């Protein structure tokens, strides 16, 4: 069973507490939380790590949701893929692109938090596409989504 099949199964049939959440609902909510933090909400305080982490989670969840949101996040992944993987830096695969983005997100200081958020969204989509060890992050997030949906 691949991760996309698991994601389709996570379209959670009416759980007793949250109802049918699904990966689309979790992706949407994650996006709202990220946007609120970027806009300066008093309830959502973001720093570089949280902005990058929420971006990665949004990218992973929306990549499996197969909605308009997934089309937007796929577009966010195309820019880093074309810059890093496009041959400018050599023959770099999706795993190397994901590793490079992760380093860029979490090692540099960012004055504008939308940058690590945007790069995180792209990295999350690339994690979903890359497989290998990156698939562990992807599958862990989907298992967490499945657990939330079972509530």
Q: How confident is the model at residue 148 (pLDDT cuts 50, 70, 90)?
A: low
Phi then psi dihedrals of residue 104, to 5 deg: -60, -40
Question: What global pTM score does this model have?
Answer: 0.76
Residue 96: exposure state from Cβ atoms within 10 A (0-12, 13-18, ≥19): middle
* Pick from 2-11, 61-70, 84-93: least confident: 2-11
Average pLDDT across the chain, whole number: 78
Cα separation values, 52 from 10, 101, 102, Å: 24, 10, 9
One DSSP character per residue, 43-60 reads: S----HHHHHHHHHHHHH
Name the domain count of the chain. 1
Task: Print the domain residue range for 81.
Answer: 3-149
């Amino acid at each position: 069973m691949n991760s996309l099949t698991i994601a389709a199964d996570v379209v959670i049939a009416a759980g007793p507490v949250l109802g049918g959440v699904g990966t689309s609902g979790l992706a949407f909510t994650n996006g709202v939380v990220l946007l609120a933090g970027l806009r300066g909400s008093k309830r959502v305080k973001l720093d570089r790590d949280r902005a990058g982490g929420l971006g990665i989670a949004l990218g992973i969840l929306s990549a499996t949701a197969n909605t308009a949101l997934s089309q937007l996040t796929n577009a966010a992944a195309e820019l880093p893929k074309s810059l890093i993987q496009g041959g400018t830096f050599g023959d770099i695969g999706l795993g190397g692109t994901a590793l490079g983005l992760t380093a860029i997100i979490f090692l540099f200081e960012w004055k504008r938090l939308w940058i690590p958020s945007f790069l995180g969204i792209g990295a999350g989509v690339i994690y979903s596409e890359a497989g290998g060890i990156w698939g562990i992050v992807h599958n862990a997030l989907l298992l967490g989504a499945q657990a939330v949906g079972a509530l």
